[in-house]
Structure 1
């Protein structure tokens, strides 16, 4: 007698229903929707880059509904989106911050949005993480960084001490990968400020190139501010709208989602 199990799968909107000769009918609960929440930007290139990341995550998670939302600048904003009917009634969700550190948005805004919809959890931000250090390394090499050159890690900045600590940890992870000193500096809201760090580097080491790694998700306002500091070598943000989103970033988004769902 054949021991082959015959399985039939129904579209996830109705739940996954399986049938086997031994188990009878069994209905499994649909996985929570993934809502990828980024800051939002007016920059067309930044919008394209973030949308591409969400699209690739959607393709990778064929059995999970993936949505995109924002905490600022762009629509749909995450709080009203959760109540807009875009998610099925009663469907659970996991908010995955496409943000690089803890802070007001990741810890405050998303927690408040999740609290207004039962069954919604908030995942950890994407950083700090060794996978992001790999992408930052690649961006520096693309920009002409020479091994042995010290690096300044340009971070957006935060008034939340946890966000500052996350950026410092990211600098340590990048330093370990590059095997050179990496100094965290901030574009706003925290010290030391990026222009001050670069001025000091030029004064103390006038014959050396200044190298900046942009610890930013995508092109936009903050990336423009970094460019205005005119470092000799400038690594691009993690997402490049002209390239496929880095596999490391896609995997990190999925890992954050799965950890959130499993806890």
Structure 2
């Protein structure tokens, strides 16, 4: 039985470092799933789009597959289920006319990714006495905001103090104001970057007033593991090599 293809769907960025990060993540997922066709597409900004990528991933010759499972699994590489996950992706998929494609759950929030946050903070020089702020891209979508609160609660349980959330864009409170309000505790304020890849949002964090800004989650092995887990959860176990 043929394993369905995996289409990793990122937000999209014109930033060269960001694109390089996604390419590395793509290669890592391919290594983790030998025998599975793994492609990368973008929901916005750059190509290939989801529709363009799906056009290069046809179903099997005997489609429709019936009970055999999907021909393609789209794994949304998003840290919260906001507009792109809830509205944009389903609409784009419907426009393709494909009925042999399923959309897996998005990346976040996931406890494994909170572990990646801690690794990135340690790499950046954060210490046990620092005050941690979770820096997220931000969204006005209630579901996405709830996902961010969940991520902050998971991180709170790991660092031993309440972790507030600051938004880079799209909502309040902004990261700089959260950092300013946390600073009077007399400790260093460090930013855990709830971002998957470098780009404009991550660069803006340098001006937020924190002592340390951790790198995005990137192609950390546990990010790869989450992508693989989302794929496996969306297909019958017997078809995954």
Contact 1:156 1:187 in 2 (8 A): yes
Contact 2:39 2:53 in 1 (8 A): no
Deviations 1:33-57 (A, max 9, x none): 1000001111111111111111111
> Match of 1:191?
172
Q: How far is 1:192 from its partner?
A: 1.4
Give the root-mean-square deviation of aligned CA atoms: 1.7
> Match of 2:56?
85
Q: How far is 1:216 from its partner?
A: 0.2
Contact 2:176 2:209 in 1 (8 A): no
Given the alignment of the two structures, is residue 111 of structure 1 paired with residue 83 of structure 2, yes or no?
no
Alignment of 1:43-62 (within 5 A): 43-62=15-34
In the alignment, the residues of structure 2 paired with residue 165 and residue 79 of structure 1 have an alpha-carbon distance, to the nearest angstrom, of: 29
Q: How far is 1:186 from its partner?
A: 0.9
> Match of 1:18?
none
SS in structure 2 at match of 1:36:
strand
In the alignment, the residues of structure 2 paired with residue 171 and residue 156 of structure 1 have an alpha-carbon distance, to the nearest angstrom, of: 14
Contact 2:133 2:192 in 1 (8 A): yes
In the alignment, the residues of structure 2 paired with residue 78 and residue 258 of structure 1 have an alpha-carbon distance, to the nearest angstrom, of: 20
Q: How far is 1:88 from its partner?
A: 4.4
More helix by share: 2
In the alignment, the residues of structure 1 paired with residue 51 and residue 33 of structure 2 have an alpha-carbon distance, to the nearest angstrom, of: 23
**What's the TM-score, normalizing by structure 2?**
0.89
Q: How far is 1:114 from its partner?
A: 2.8
> Match of 1:212?
191
- Bigger RCO of structures 1 and 2 (CA < 8 A, at least 6 apart): 2
Unaligned runs of 5+ in 2: 64-69
In the alignment, the residues of structure 2 paired with residue 181 and residue 262 of structure 1 have an alpha-carbon distance, to the nearest angstrom, of: 39
Contact 2:75 2:227 in 1 (8 A): yes
**Structure number with larger C-alpha Rg:** 1
> Match of 2:220?
246
Contact 1:36 1:95 in 2 (8 A): yes
In the alignment, the residues of structure 2 paired with residue 177 and residue 199 of structure 1 have an alpha-carbon distance, to the nearest angstrom, of: 23
Given the alignment of the two structures, is residue 258 of structure 1 paired with residue 232 of structure 2, yes or no?
yes
Query: 4+ residue runs of structure 1 moved beyond 6 angstroms?
Result: none
- How many residue pairs get aligned? The number is 227
Given the alignment of the two structures, is residue 94 of structure 1 paired with residue 66 of structure 2, yes or no?
no
In the alignment, the residues of structure 1 paired with residue 33 and residue 122 of structure 2 have an alpha-carbon distance, to the nearest angstrom, of: 31
Unaligned runs of 5+ in 1: 1-27, 240-244
